[in-house]
């Protein structure tokens, strides 16, 4: 199987981490988002007209959407990190959907990316300021739900056992570090991320995005 990805991509890192930790042999093909390779043929025309990573190819079967790819890899490898029991699996799916549709929209697309990536910056200062203010308030609300209700006293997003939802969520939540937030207002999230950072492949998976974050200058609106 071949994975098109970029290590600075939030949606690629859960797959990188899961494949590395689970010893899934993937042919790893970097698509250089920083030089716009994803806007050029053959990627843009042939591989993914959405012009985004990640993309998985399993023979002639091609799959986009990070959450779908993560579940596909987990099922294909019969991973214990994606429990088969109906309700346990539904809980994992619920967490992944929540991360992808709620937190991602306001924390990543609303607050972090417009400050970190020039092509996400809004066209005027007023527009940028309004976008950040809107997203900051909502991201704080989602983080509070995550901290108090989803994680609470648990070690992981679905209870005491690590699942693919943790692999997925950790990449998205950790984007706060790009804008210099240590999430100190959210002790349960900090503890959970601390658990995830103990995975042996965490350092290698996150080193590029950490380097990118360190290269950013200026002050940021933070959560």
Neighbours of 61 (CB within 10 A): 9
Determine if 65 is a binding residue for ligand GSH (CB under 6 A): yes
Cβ 82 to ligand GSH shortest distance, Å: 17
Q: Are strands 27-30 and 2-5 parallel, antiparallel or unpaired?
A: parallel
Q: Is 10 in the site for ligand GSH (CB under 6 A)?
A: yes
Query: Which residue's CB is nearer to ligand GSH, number 13 or number 138?
Result: 13
Q: Which of 4, 26, 43, 66 binds ligand GSH (CB under 6 A)?
A: 66
Closest-by-Cβ residue to ligand GSH is 52
In angstroms, the CA 184 to CA 53 distance is: 31
Q: Draw the binding track, 13-52, toward ligand GSH (x: CB under 6 A; -: no contact).
A: --------------------x----x-------------x
Cβ at position 31, least distance to ligand GSH in Å: 8
Closer residue to ligand GSH in complex, CB, 4/147:
4
Q: Is 9 in the site for ligand GSH (CB under 6 A)?
A: yes
3-class SS letters over the chain: CEEEECCCCCCCHHHHHHHHHCCCCCEEEECCCCCCHHHCCCHHHHHCCCCCCCEEEECCEEEECHHHHHHHHHHHCCCCCCCCCHHHHHHHHHHHHHHHHHHHHHHHHHHHHHHHCHHHCCCCHHHHHHHHHHHHHHHHHHHHHHHHHHHCCCCECCECCCCHHHHHHHHHHHHHHHHCCCCCCCHHHHHHHHHHHCCCCHHHHHHHHHHHHHHCCCCCCCC
Site map (CB under 6 A) of ligand GSH, residues 140-159, x = contact: --------------------
Among 4, 11, 18, 165, binds ligand GSH (CB under 6 A): 11
CB closer to ligand GSH, 109 vs 220: 109
Taking the least distance from each CB to ligand GSH, the nearer of 11 and 115 is 11
Which backbone phi and psi does 58 adopt, to 5 degrees? -120, 95
- Judged by CB under 6 A, the residue of 17, 19, 26, 53 near ligand GSH is 53
Residue showing tokens 């901290």:
147
The interface region with ligand GSH, picked from 5-13, 17-25, 187-195, 211-219 by CB under 6 A, is: 5-13
Which residues contact ligand GSH (rule: CB under 6 A)?
9-11, 33, 38, 52-54, 65-66
């Amino acid at each position: 199987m071949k994975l098109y990805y970029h290590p600075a991509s939030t949606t690629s890192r859960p797959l990188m981490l899961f494949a590395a930790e689970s010893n899934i042999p993937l042919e790893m093909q970097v698509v250089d988002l920083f030089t716009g390779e994803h806007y050029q043929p053959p990627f843009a025309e042939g591989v993914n007209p959405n012009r985004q990573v990640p993309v998985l190819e399993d023979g002639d079967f091609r799959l986009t959407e990070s959450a779908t790819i993560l579940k596909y890899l987990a099922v294909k490898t019969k991973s214990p990190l994606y429990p088969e029991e109906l309700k346990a699996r539904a809980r994992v799916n619920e967490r992944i959907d929540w991360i992808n549709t709620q937190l991602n929209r306001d924390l990543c697309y609303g607050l972090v990316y417009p400050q970190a990536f020039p092509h996400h910056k809004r066209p005027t200062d007023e527009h940028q300021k309004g976008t950040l203010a809107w997203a900051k308030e909502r991201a704080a609300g989602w983080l509070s739900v995550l901290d108090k209700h989803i994680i609470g006293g648990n070690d992981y997003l679905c209870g005491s056992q690590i699942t693919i939802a943790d692999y997925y969520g950790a990449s998205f939540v950790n984007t706060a570090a790009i804008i210099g937030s240590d999430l100190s207002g959210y002790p349960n999230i900090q503890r959970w991320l601390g658990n995830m950072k103990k995975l042996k492949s965490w350092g290698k998976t996150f080193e590029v995005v950490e380097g990118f974050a360190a290269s950013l200058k200026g002050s940021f609106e933070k959560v």
